Structure 1
């Protein structure tokens, strides 16, 4: 579009700073005012679109009027020789994305809170002008780093739009604008962008700069769609336990329903400041974003009062009202006091750099022009997006290698949320092996701890923050166990033992980690056929749910509302059903017929499908995997290819593959893991040791571990 040295009206193009699908950004010299500027030139194709030109004019005028210190000033905009342009201030520094790359473990919490507070102020000013940004992300936040601290600018309002039901929506029907890693779920289903869509994106940004990783690490835009719409909101403590004080803030800010989010970016900023105050390490400097929410008279540019969710508003976990988000009568937080005018210097924060300082020896910020934001044509709602996700996810077959077995006889395996530890149950120790749980460092494959338990373990579950492991002590058919054991992973010791039903087997935790569901398989002599609902804080069973014969595996939907229980049968009887339990009422709401002897069950991360591994019988040893549509609770596919007595089943963290262990039988032991993609196609089998049993993977879908009769195997997927 442009060339170095070219004269464009009064501007001399000096250096290309960035290029996107819709335009370029140049370092240029304005010969009229004799100053360096950042000049955005939009492509001829978009400029020729009358609707785009109208939207460009409308939004450039609004953006130019924003008075926030944290919005890049626009000097001029318009059209020269048929090309649209925006003349902006050229500033020194780098972007927030570069800061995140330089700190892969996340920024210090105080710094992260301060940055979010500044960006929140910019968004409050934009919202006060009726403008929704729609592309809040780290690469659109500039850090000047001047005068002893971060000073942030929110940039690139190039795809912003006017908010409100009466505003003219000048985008094409069915087009979603934005960067999918930070887009609110409603934007994928055809809903218009709102102020709370920006709140969602800002919380995604906050999560990323806190932890060093995006909340949904999908490999492509289509994966992001499924994750934002269907997967539960991740907690920062899953990555780092010390960030647990921010879990509630993230849960509210990323609520699927916009009405359940913080009403304004400033309210979000207040909540982060309040949470940071609970860390005991001090808070970040309080910025103008917080003072905007004071109870005094609103100054120029202050965000308009908007109704909050009301006095009954609770966070996503239903744990109570959030004072920081709903303290004011209009849903805005703050501790009272006179309101501060936008643009006033903020104590404790470096002042804004002078507006017209000469560039001199500066290193201009190399930011990306409008157009790098993802443009995704969905054509119609969440269903269409999900179908595209299916079509674009052929899956991959991992490689396998044996690692040192942590126990003589491994049984089940689970992985900590951060992927750094694997917990393996079975028989270990010498000279006489005894029931125990081994802790494996996944970076070195070395055993770092071993915890004895009472009787032979049935299943494992790891808490969301990785601080506790729960083990069902199944015992043997001759001497069934009846205990759910809690292990403190920091000390590798048993801290609680809770009585449940006979021969407890499958185990699942609620998303908030407060409730455990234990399948009591029982025996002929000690019938089980129940699920114990355990209040983990109180250490007691609060409900017992009758299910099918000999329940074995259990799995919860991501939202925690449905429990799927595979009814295996007992010694003299073969089960072939899955019970569906409504966790709100602890009542069975459906029974689904599956293959004979169902052992394992897993639910996909997006919650749309459950997979049941049925081992089969002596007459039909191949077994099967049943695919259940969780919306209708019906079997939509039955897979038998590549199977030999399946027992364990897991879905990779990105939802692309289902892994099934083929245990076989004593007469014909299995020795493979079958890989099924999201289209229910068997795409390969991976050889492992004899009689593979348990399987579990990391949240990012890159690795999984398999227990066999006497070995331990690591599965590694190719880079996504």
Structure 2
């Protein structure tokens, strides 16, 4: 055992957080990076087992690559002085087990569903990486209690549950058990843990959250084994009649046969959300009244899941293996893209799904995945060309002969093929670059992220675009949600969205001459995100994406002369990106949705009346918005869902507020979007996901054709284009990229 004050390599051990059969977890200080961390030290006995060491390293690498917000990031792992360690982010808060003990009759259903949705997101990320958790239970879920609600982290991803003499954790090398109260029946017969074993455990946990007790009340592990294998699946309504709406969710999640369970944890969460919504008819054993309310899920950066389908479940994927005879490794059947209904009465096939989404270069034109929710109207039809394009040849003469008859931008649409830029990585001005914006003259780039020293903090970096050198760093209160520069370039506005530890609620005003924050305008508690300025510079519009306790779904209209919120406009669910037309008359709002409901609309706000005048169906999970410089078209980047992982870009005619084209080719989870100042090119960052690779920028010309994709860093996010049409900048996970367009 280690001791308080002990130095372990570069770590100073400060406080013992917990101890178990496999080792200890310490609050420590990393002297290299000057930050507090959670340090897991594994026992010396397990480190001597060569097979354990190999599996430990393999699974630690996989876990370190997980990008879910609900998985505690791993900073480092390895071996020091013969002892294995894992360096993780330090999270303040208790575990879910303590919450369950404090609610002996169960949590409010809305809270239970929200927690399960967050855990499901973490598990989906792990499964996509080929990692089975194997020990989903309340004590392995940490709650931070931040954002005025629950924010969950799923911990112990197979690292401390692989080998060694751990009692009920393991019986012999290669035969995983875990915690018997939450174990799937097949694991008691020697079969390998699969993704659906985690689904079973998540259903057990959901039952416990709803009722306050475990599914089976056996006095010991041996009793649990028999109950999981032989006894009927318990349902929540046995505890309380009002929980009957969740009976089928639990029954499907805890099905004895893995093939009859939900195919993914996310599908279980979808079904739980749908079960709590108001329904047209009674549910078995009760009425279909809403039990969920309007609570917001966790913060977004990963694709939001849709509600479950109403059509039949076409089948399940993955194979079941026999008794394990060798070392246990993470099994990796591919989870299907479709979510199941709440229950299924047919036997699901175990043949792997062939309905995989194509990568960049393939085109999805809205064909629904069997058993998945139908896409919005804009995606159901083939891509539509703008009507006037078909007259291109005849109109070209009119453009030349009667120059004023057709505007210059319309002429661009007829003849401009666009251009594919070259990309080169430049030194990132901050850690974890997020958003980027350019000054009107193009001489400075503003990049949000973590900057400053010795301890990096939320900041906005100022970059000289002539040399790409850092010229200043402006600390802000919490992590920025978006950036916008005034028309004269003298002020930079930052919506302070914040982090899990420090939620944001303000609009910061930065003087770009002195690089100093000159004002902080309070916005409330609903996680400000997207930001847009009126062309006259008098108003700022801030999207309030929301939190668990403050659902958001509004846009704040800020009077910049008085630094006050002049109006609040209700819009769709989970507003994210904003864009305003050059005349300032219309504001477009991308409604991303929340964890408990997918967003697939754009709200159109009349800025004179501060009222929504239209709602436009677009692709699932719209994130980014940009309006062409002439104001004729708006471009909406929708990141997509499990049913449509490739995502889409919707082209909106601002005169009619209708979608005139839906673009899917060359896309992979698009998030950021920008239009070059000459209107010739639309740039879309492909953040990517497991079935639709990203790490590129798609280039779309004014004819709505994808003319190329440009490789950039991993997980590209923000993009900003200069007004002269020659240069753009892209932020990725840890890199900063410059795009240069060929001279015309």
TM-score by length of 2: 0.45
TM norm structure 1: 0.47
Structure of greater Rg = 1
